[in-house]
């Protein structure tokens, strides 16, 4: 189950990213979230599969969130915590 994704960064908070289905864009992202996120800045488009390795999150978790709510919000890393730790 491959899906074309767009990734946006927040201009207000470093390390805060929003993943959305490229076909839907930001349509399913709640307005309240977009207000706190700031005007999204597109940084990447790519084909996401469950097997794809991502830096800070499991691809399957992103795909599940896209199915369930239409977006995935990646929070900034917490000091001292690394992916997979």
pLDDT, tens only, 52-81: 999 889 999 999 999 999 999 999 987 765
Would the pLDDT of 84 be above 60?
Answer: no
Confirm whether 84 is domain-assigned.
no
Confirm whether 67 is domain-assigned.
yes
Tell me how many domains the chain contains.
1
Confirm whether 26 is domain-assigned.
yes
Which of the 8 DSSP states describes residue 29?
S
pLDDT for position 43: 97
pLDDT, tens only, 5-31: 999 999 999 999 999 999 999 999 999
Ramachandran region of residue 60, left (φ > 0), alpha (ψ -120 to 50) or beta?
Answer: alpha
Confirm whether 59 is domain-assigned.
yes
CATH of the domain at 66: 3.10.510.20
Give 40 or 1, the one with higher predicted confidence: 40
Confirm whether 10 is domain-assigned.
yes
Confirm whether 70 is domain-assigned.
yes
Structural domain boundaries, residue 54? 3-74
């Amino acid at each position: 189950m491959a899906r074309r994704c767009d990734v946006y960064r927040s201009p207000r908070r470093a390390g805060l990213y929003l993943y959305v289905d490229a076909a839907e864009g930001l349509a399913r992202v709640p307005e309240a979230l977009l207000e706190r996120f700031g005007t999204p800045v597109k940084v990447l488009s790519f084909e996401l599969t469950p097997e794809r390795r991502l830096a800070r999150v499991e691809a399957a978790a992103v795909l599940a969130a896209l199915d369930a709510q239409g977006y995935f919000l990646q929070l900034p890393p917490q000091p001292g915590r690394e992916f997979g730790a």
